[in-house]
Amino acid sequence: MAARRTWEIELPNGDYLVNLMLGDPRYAADKGIRIEDRLHGHEDPKAPFHVLESVPVELSDGRLTLEGVKGNCPVCFIEIVPAKEGFPKRKLAKPSKAKQLAFPGAEGFGKFVSGGRGGDVYHVTNLNWTGPGSLAWGVQSIYGGHPRTVVFDVSGHISARPGDGPLRFNAANLTIAGQTAPGNGITIRDQPVIATHSSNLILRYLRLRLGDEKKGEKSAPDTMTMEDCDGVILDHLSLSWSIDGLLDTRRMGPFTVQWCVFAEPLNHSLHPKGSHGYLMSFRSLDHSLSIHHNLFSSGTTRHPTLGDSTAELNAPGVICDFRNNVVYNWGGGNLKAGATRINLVNNVFRPGSSSRGKTALIAVQAPESQAWLHGNVWNSHLEELTADCVRLTADNHLGAHYKYANGGDRSTFEAGREFGLGEFSIPDETAMEAFETVLQHAGASLSRDAADSRMTRNVRAGKGRIIDSQKDVGGWDEKPSVIRPADFDTDQDGMPDAWEKARSHLDPNNPDDRNGDENGDGYTNLEEYLNALATRSGR
């Protein structure tokens, strides 16, 4: 189908999904297709690409307009379907009356998302960047908001080819269960993961290690970007080696980031602005978020940034709950406080060799910033910082730094008490208790790769540095890929035959039993298996 033409289709008003397949991986092309004046598809400089995308549309004038744009972008197919079951716009799936946790151990504002519970199962059977059996195909082919759980029959690196674009998706009711991968698990590399206009997401036990290969000379991607997503929990992820930031989010709904490792963004790399080893940012806050039991290590700044510095871009009443994290080896700047309310509780801040004597605990960016700082420990192996460590641990607010114009002062910044979290409170753990549990269990820890093992050792030993390329630290693990045998899961319900045969209520030849709930605890039989796999990590 030719790219440069316009389609006008008369339809009853309502919600629709426009399902598109664009591009050809063999040929270079520019931008994709415009739907109701909004561009979709390829957004990078001219390069070969192939993408399957599902676009939600709210039609109010009885006419749907689609326009192919310049750049010789082939349109393989267009499918328009009524969104009878809802679609991935900014609506959070309603939790059950019992407010079922996403999984045992889910905490914070994102703990009640349900992901793919009760839906179908998609098996990742290869490490291709695109095409049937790939991870991209599994997350891009969800129509109508139907729940889906993605499981892995293969381990290894999902590696982009030269000319491939980002792994993009906009989906509702999705679980990506990285804990199901055999061998040493799954690593996504070379191109970023970008989630937009998605809701009710569970992502667990994945490594996203971007690196500086297979990109344009002035490329500047984050390792992961999430925008306009509602109801998300990220659990046991490992992100590293970004060109810009490791994780950048905007306009997120209820959101939890827990038990993750964020480390080693690349500093002097491909970014057109030069030095750019930024860790992560949570900006344009639409809802409160929980950030707990994570490791943040070896970036120049944004360890992380909490909220936009412009008050109008953050919803009123939002709380950033930042507790029980380990923050290590920042360069020119540490944690940044935007124009929002922050709990900064029971974290460990540990300067490293790249910290250059910097002891600012939190950089206050706006007069609307307010924070409750309590129980944070300043811990250093550097003798010259010992006195500062004692002083800041005794009075955390001495670590606030008011260098920004109109950034307020202690009288405006210091909250009189902790901002209440209600049912989203997280059990208390001291800073030094969290130091141990984070270093033991954070990241894709079911089978730690060499990078995570090295990063956690560095925190204990006070070693490591800000890097410019993944080659500086050995690059990616090159472990052999493992593929499940064909008879591992005969009925393809996500549960192995051996697991089902050991349980009288399950049948390895009946795929429908995955969505039963034999013990009545609110988790499906498939989720019971997924949760059992995750307990092997100890958290």
- Residue range 262-279, pLDDT digits in tens: 999 999 887 878 777 889
Q: How far apart (Å, rounded) are the C-alpha atoms in residues 225 and 223? A: 7
Q: CB within 8 A of 269, min separation 6: which ones?
A: 212, 243, 276, 468, 469
Q: What are 63's strand-pairing partners?
A: 10
Contact 524, 517 (CB under 8 A): yes
CA distance 426 to 428: 6
Is residue 25 within 8 Å of 48, Cβ to Cβ?
Answer: yes
Confidence of residue 382 (pLDDT cuts 50, 70, 90): confident
Tens-digit pLDDT profile for residues 453-494: 999 999 999 999 999 999 999 999 988 999 999 999 999 999
**With helix as H, strand as E and coil as C, how does 101-156 read?**
CCCCCCCCCCCCCCCCCCCEEEEECCCCCCCCCCHHHHHHCCCCCCCEEEEECECE
- The answer to whether residues 349 and 327 touch, using CB atoms and an 8 Å cutoff, is yes
**Amino acid letter for position 512:** D
Question: Does an H or E element contain 534, and which?
Answer: helix 525-534
Q: How far apart are CA 350 and CA 386, in angstroms?
A: 11
pLDDT band at 33; cut points 50, 70, 90: low
Cα separation, 351 vs 353, whole angstroms: 7
CA nearest to 337, candidates 355, 352, 319, 312: 319
Instruction: Identify the band that residue 57 occupies on the pLDDT scale cut at 50, 70 and 90.
Output: confident
pLDDT of residue 3: 46
Centre a 10 Å sphere on the Cβ of residue 236 and count the other Cβ atoms it contains: 26
CA–CA gap between residue 495 and residue 511 (Å, rounded): 9
At 86 the pLDDT is 44
**Domains assigned to the chain:** 6-82 (2.60.120.430), 120-473 (2.160.20.10), 485-536 (no CATH)
Dihedral, CA atoms, 237, 241, 245, 247, nearest 10 degrees? -10
Closest CA to 40 of 13, 68, 72: 68
Residue 78's pLDDT is what? 72
**Mutual orientation of helices 450-461 and 431-441 as an angle, nearest 10°?**
150
